[in-house]
Amino acid sequence: MKKITPHHFSSEELLKSIQNPNVEPSINQIKRILHGMHPSEVAHTMESLPPKERKFLWSLIEIQDEGEIIAELHDEIQQELISEILPDELIAIIQDLELDKIVDILQTLPDRTTENILASMSKRDRQRIKDVLEYPVDSAGGLMNTDIISVRPKHSLEVVMRYLRAQKKLPQNTDKIFVVSRENKYLGSLSVSTIVVSDPSLNVRELMETETDPLSANLNDKDVSRLFEQNDWVSAPVVDDSKNLIGRITIDDVVDVIMEDADQNFLGMAGIAEDTFAAPARAARSRILWLSINLMTAFIASMTISLFQQTIDEIVYLAILMPIVASMGGVAGTQTLTIMIRGLTLQQINKTNINWLYKRELAVSIVNGILLSILVGGITYLWFNSITISILICFAMIVNLICSAVAGIFIPIMLRKFNQDPAIAGSVVVTTVTDVIGFFSFLGLASLVLI
């Protein structure tokens, strides 16, 4: 029989065997394979399984591996799993994790469970975790780890190296240590590479880097990730309002923030808030709100049409052509909206340039409106052989494309003013506007001209 080791065994084969547990490899073999896999790989495998199989896989994982795997799971799946674990069990599972991973998990739990878990910890760990929990999840403070190594400016590199050797092991992603005053005020940073390449007799003060400002604990996590991206940082110090050094943020946590933000923007545009393999009931619930909102806006569009019931009754061609005007406006409006959302997210758009952008979008929609309406007019003429209907649809489309640019620019700005995320609410509002204006302009013009 072929010897099965994690390296010979693809996660797809594992998925297959979990779903058909009666064929080779045996349960015990799967257990051994899981134990040998990297926690993030096990987490990814769990995320690729439907709920029932996911629970089965979870039951095969050894208790000492559970904590690291929970820490690697995406938020929704992590929460679902934790909700089925008793607080006492949870304490046993997570207590040996690094503090920042424990904090990540505690941030998703109800306050009472968090209190219970904190009560079971050593005083020192409890205080360090409480320091982080004080800040919102989406701030630099909520994102930071407290595993900082700090030294004083007056020490020589020799002393620093003796101190570091005494630590045996540095925390993960330690590319720099921090320099603080006797009162723990942040003074600067000292990169590990500098330690390695410099003369050991030099002082920390002579070698430390002081130009970069530390991050304020209240900074928004999107700003944190922008700063990391712009400056190519691996880690950065975090200070409180009085400039005391309280923690550090590492690039791996920033990468998670970036990926989750992108994920949420992407899913948000379709009104989805669920993981890929969510149970049917959960998925149905997560989507019906969005579908219902769209239903209401669809009825608004229908009411617009009903205003021109008589006109359609007399010229049925209008009913055939009206969806074209509405749909083209929707697509053009979504294009402008997408550019706006992207520019706002990247903090490229502000008062100094919004005017230019608005005029550009108007120009683009006028140019494209004219070009496309020639196409539409031509096809319509060939189809219905009526120059009047051709001209009508041309005019209506140009009107709707111009309105789509206006809507695409101003709706996200207004949504922001009302604290709504344009990436979620924007597209439904914009397409409602373009539907209504599309039907109204086409059928309205037709009523004026043809009746």
107 binds a copy of itself (CB under 8 A): no
Q: Which of 91, 159, 324, 425 binds a copy of itself (CB under 8 A)?
A: 324
Going by C-alpha positions, the residue among 40, 15, 44, 50 that lies closest to residue 30 is: 15
Nearest in space to 14 (alpha carbons), one of 39, 40, 42: 42
The residue assigned the tokens 């004083």 is: 152
Count the residues of the shown chain that bind a copy of itself, applying the rule CB under 8 A: 118
Q: Is 287 one of the binding residues for a copy of itself (CB under 8 A)?
A: yes
Does residue 353 belong to the site contacting a copy of itself (CB under 8 A)? yes
Q: Quick check: 21 binds a copy of itself (CB under 8 A)? A: no
Q: Rule CB under 8 A: say whether 357 interacts with a copy of itself.
A: yes
Least Å distance, CB 43 to a copy of itself, is 8
CB crowding 136-170: b at 16 or more within 10 Å, else e: eeebbbbbbbbbbbbbebeebbeebeeebeeeeee
12 binds a copy of itself (CB under 8 A): yes
Closer residue to a copy of itself in complex, CB, 134/262:
262
Question: With binding defined as CB under 8 A, does residue 374 bind a copy of itself?
Answer: no
Give the separation between CA 439 and CA 392, rounded to whole angstroms: 12
Task: Find the binder of a copy of itself among 169, 183, 241, 418 (CB under 8 A).
Answer: 169
DSSP-assigned letter for residue 22: T
In terms of C-beta density within 10 A (0-12 exposed, 13-18 middle, 19 or more buried), how is residue 289 classed? exposed
Q: Is 25 helix (H, G, I), strand (E, B) or coil?
A: coil
Is 130 an interacting residue with respect to a copy of itself (CB under 8 A)? Answer: no
Directed axis angle between helix 422-450 and helix 387-417, to 10°? 150
263 binds a copy of itself (CB under 8 A): yes
CB of 86 to a copy of itself, least distance (A): 29
- Is 367 among the residues that bind a copy of itself (CB under 8 A)? yes
Do the beta carbons of residue 240 and residue 148 sit within 8 Å? no
Q: Does 283 contact a copy of itself by CB under 8 A?
A: yes
Among 91, 267, 406, 413, binds a copy of itself (CB under 8 A): 267
* Interacting residues with a copy of itself between 210 and 249 (CB under 8 A): 228-232, 234
Using CA atoms, how far apart are residues 17 and 13, in angstroms rounded to an integer?
Answer: 6
Q: From the CB of 318, what's the least distance to a copy of itself, in Å?
A: 8
- Residue pair 5/36 in contact by the 8 Å Cβ criterion: yes
Of the ranges 40-48, 83-91, 180-188, 414-422, which one interacts with a copy of itself (CB under 8 A)? 40-48
Q: Which is nearer to a copy of itself, 113 or 228 (CB)?
A: 228
Assess 435 for contact with a copy of itself (CB under 8 A).
yes
- Smallest distance, a copy of itself to C-beta of residue 112, A: 31
CB-based contact 361:336 (threshold 8 Å)? yes
Distance CA 288, CA 22 (A): 38
Report the site for a copy of itself in 170-199 (rule: CB under 8 A).
170, 172-175, 192-193, 195-199
